Amino acid sequence: MEIKLNLKKPDERIKSQLTPKDKLPFGKLRTDHMFVCDYTDGSWNNASIIPYSDFSIPPGAIVLHYAQAIFEGAKAFMHPDNEIYTFRIDKNAERMNISADCLCMPEMPVDFQIKAIHTLIDVDRLWFPIQEGASLYIRPFMFSFDDSLGVHPGSKYKYAVILSPSGPYYPDGFSKPIKLLITKKFHRATPGGTGYAKAAGNYAASLKAGEFAKKFGANQVLYLDTTNTYIEEAGAMNHYHITSDGTVVIPEFTDTILKSITSQSIIELAGDLGLNVVQKRIKIDEFIEDVKSGKIVEAGGFGTAAVISPVGTYVFEDGSSIDVGNGQIGPISKKIYEYYTGLQYGKIKDSRGWLKKVEKMHV
Ligand code: PLP
Ligand code: COI
């Protein structure tokens, strides 16, 4: 399918917004254009890049009532050769289709998703943030817009991609460890449900837990499984911990945990890093004991937006808290962060073909 281009002149906001004195926020800025494509009569049509603008959908659109919507989160990086590269974008496109299947939505061929994303980045390449530690956040998403109040899958869908020149997800970036609330009060996902997909509804369901966490000074909840026995993940990242023998432990992927591309990458990079990385089910009681006894020395979260976010402290509803190690960023988390971001920003050679250059075709 061809992509039609309907382009505007570069917006004069570019210069002022990309060179602020403060760090760029996460997810707030937009570029000039977006990619859109409609699924009607059983096929994808009208693929185009158009100026960033509002959608017009009927008030009865299925997405507004029953949340038939999915999304992805990926990033592009500027390398020392001044070229822009997407990172493992094929994995995001594949997961988009896994989420589509989970919510009875049509798949979009992986190669076409990549073509759409690369063309959009090429068109808006002037928007690339030049600040240290910044990247271009890529947000593909899909929703049904049939005007129908019966609970059933739609027959009309929009797939779109927007871009956001962004700074770190947590305002202090890697420089300050985060806090997680351990609670049995909220659960992110149930077995047999949509936890393994990037379904919009999962995030709507996590908002109350997120606000609850804030009351305890925590950034997010560390979710447990529905039996309150095992660690699952946080609201926007997988969880990891590191034992005193240097082993990195990530909870085993189940249908209630999102299969993080960052976690999978760290597992694949274990050899390069000289680390032992394992996945297993982790009992919360044992985890807390091991943090207290010093058997667990570091912990944190893995995610595209979160990158590697070390946790300094776990807090509990009774107001008590425990520090991991000395509550600061540990040396192994730092090593993983530096290697992973070194690879993403092109300072370390990519021997796996994870970085894909955005060819200059339109600008
Ligand atoms: N878990 C959840 C619930 C997420 O939303 C994300 C973010 O995408 C992750 C984990 C991390 O996944 P990834 O590394 O693929 O971004
Ligand atoms: C990501 O890490 O890209 C995510 O999608 C998480 C989030 C901002 C919801």
pLDDT at position 76 is: 98
Alpha carbon of 143 to ligand 1 centroid (Å): 19
Position 281 scores a pLDDT of 98
Per this entry, what is the length of the chain?
Answer: 363
For ligand 2, whether the C-beta of 37 sits within 6 Å is no
CA of 198 to the centre of ligand 2 (A): 9
Number of alpha helices (DSSP H) and beta strands (DSSP E) in the chain: 10, 18
Residue 49, Cβ neighbours under 10 Å: how many? 22
177 close to ligand 2 (CB < 6 Angstrom): no
The tokens of 50 are what? 């158009």
175-329 CATH fold: D-amino Acid Aminotransferase; Chain A, domain 2 (3.20.10)
pTM strictly above 0.85:
yes
Alpha-helical (H) ranges within the chain are 13-18, 62-66, 89-102, 110-123, 200-204, 207-215, 261-268, 270-273, 284-293, 331-344
Token readout for 34 is 């977006």
125 touches 15 (CB < 8 A): no
From 262, 266, 307, 309, give the residue whose CB has the most ligand 1 atoms within 8 Å, as the site to mutate.
262
Atom of ligand 2 lying closest to residue 303 CA: 2
Residues of the chain with pLDDT under 50: none
Q: Is 175-329 the same fold as 4-167+353-357?
A: no
Q: Any idea what DSSP says for residue 286?
A: H
Max Cα distance, the chain (Å)? 61
Q: Helices 261-268 and 89-102, interaxial angle, to 10°?
A: 130
Ligand 1: atom nearest CA of 198 is: 5
Instruction: Check if 238 has its Cβ closer than 6 Å to any atom of ligand 1.
Output: yes
State the CATH class of domain 4-167+353-357. alpha beta
* 258 ligand 1 Cβ < 6 A: yes
Q: Which residues contact 209 (CB under 8 A, 6 or more apart)?
A: 183, 185, 186, 188, 221, 223, 235
CA–CA separation, 212 and 167 (whole Å)? 25
- Report domain extents, the chain: 4-167+353-357, 175-329
Q: Please give the number of the atom of ligand 1 that sits closest to the Cα of 73.
A: 8
- Read out DSSP for 222-236? EEE-TTS-BEEEESS
Residue 336 in contact with residue 344, Cβ under 8 Å? no
Region class of 166: left (phi > 0), else alpha (psi between -120 and 50), else beta: beta
Pocket test for ligand 1, best of 71, 137, 237, 239 (most atoms within 8 A of CB): 237
For 61-103, write each residue's pLDDT tens digit.
999 999 999 999 999 999 999 999 999 999 999 999 999 999 9
Mutate to test the pocket of ligand 1, among 70, 257, 258 (most ligand atoms within 8 A of CB): 258
DSSP states along 163-177: EEEE--SSTTGGGS-
Q: How far is CA 354 from CA 101, 214, 296, in A?
A: 25, 36, 31
Is 260 close to ligand 1, i.e. is its CB under 6 Å away? yes
Q: Is the CB of 210 under 6 A from ligand 2?
A: no
Give the pLDDT score at 12. 67
Residue 19 confidence (pLDDT) = 64
Nearest atom in ligand 1 to 258's CA: 1
Q: Which tokens hold the place of 97? A: 């289709």
**307 Cβ below 6 A of ligand 2:** no
User: Looking at the CA of 197, which ligand is closest?
Assistant: 1
In this structure, the residue with its CA closest to atom 4 of ligand 1 is: 236
* Other CB atoms within 10 A of residue 8 CB: 11
